[in-house]
Structure 1
Amino acid sequence: MSDLTPDLLLHGYAVGIFPMAEHRDDPEIFWVDPERRGVLPLDGFHISRSLARAMRRSTFDVRINSDFAGVVAGCADRADTWINSEISGLYSALHAKSKAHSIELWDGDSLIGGVYGVTLGAAFFGESMFSRRTNASKMALAALVDHLNRAGFLLFDTQFLTSHLASLGAQEITRRAYHARLQHATAQQANFTSVSVLQLYDVVQRMTQTS
Structure 2
Amino acid sequence: MLTWLQRDSLDFPPLDKALREPNGLLAAGGDLSAERLIQAYRHGCFPWFQDGQPILWWSPDPRTVLLPDELHISRSLSKVLRQGRYRVTFDQAFAAVIQACAEPRSYAADTWITTPMQTAYLELHRRGIAHSIEVWHEGKLVGGLYGLAMGQVFFGESMFSRADNASKVGFVTLVQHLQAWGFVLIDCQMPTQHLHSFGARAIAREQFATFLSRHLDQANHADWLA
Identity in percent = 41
TM (norm. structure 1) is: 0.87
Aligned partner of 1:174 in structure 2 is 204
Instruction: Pick one of 68, 73, 83 that aligns with 2:99.
Output: 73
Aligned partner of 1:5 in structure 2 is 33
Aligned partner of 1:48 in structure 2 is 74
Count of matched residue pairs? 194
Question: Hey, which bits of structure 1, 4+ residues long, moved more than 3 A?
Answer: none
Tell me the CA shift for residue 53 of structure 1. Answer: 0.4
The within-5 A match list for 1:29-178 is 29-78=55-104, 79-178=109-208
For residues 87-110 of structure 1, the C-alpha deviation after alignment (integer angstroms, 9 at most, x for no partner) is: 111100000000000111011221
For residues 158-206 of structure 1, the C-alpha deviation after alignment (integer angstroms, 9 at most, x for no partner) is: 111111100111001110111111111103111432673xxxxxxxxxx
Helix, strand or coil for the counterpart of 2:73?
coil
Contact 1:69 1:92 in 2 (8 A): yes
The whole-number CA distance in structure 1 between the counterparts of 2:85 and 2:127 is 32
Contact 1:21 1:82 in 2 (8 A): yes
Tell me the CA shift for residue 154 of structure 1. Answer: 1.4
Helix, strand or coil for the counterpart of 1:43?
helix
Contact 2:91 2:225 in 1 (8 A): no
Contact 2:146 2:157 in 1 (8 A): yes
The whole-number CA distance in structure 1 between the counterparts of 2:49 and 2:224 is 33
Higher relative contact order (CA 8 A, sep 6+): 1
Tell me the CA shift for residue 62 of structure 1. Answer: 0.7
The whole-number CA distance in structure 1 between the counterparts of 2:225 and 2:136 is 19
Aligned partner of 2:47 in structure 1 is 19
What residue ranges of structure 2 are gaps of 5+ in the alignment?
1-28
RMSD: 1.5
Letter of the 1:181 counterpart: F
The whole-number CA distance in structure 2 between the counterparts of 1:85 and 1:76 is 9
Contact 2:31 2:55 in 1 (8 A): no
Tell me the CA shift for residue 120 of structure 1. Answer: 1.3
TM (norm. structure 2) is: 0.82
Larger radius of gyration: 2
The whole-number CA distance in structure 1 between the counterparts of 2:130 and 2:201 is 23
Relative to its length, the structure with more helix (as a share) is 1
The whole-number CA distance in structure 2 between the counterparts of 1:195 and 1:64 is 6
Tell me the CA shift for residue 60 of structure 1. Answer: 1.2
The whole-number CA distance in structure 2 between the counterparts of 1:70 and 1:194 is 17
Alpha-carbon distance change, 192 to 26 in structure 1, aligned in 2, over 3 angstroms? farther
The whole-number CA distance in structure 2 between the counterparts of 1:102 and 1:151 is 16
Of 179-188 and 61-70, the range deviating more from structure 2? 179-188
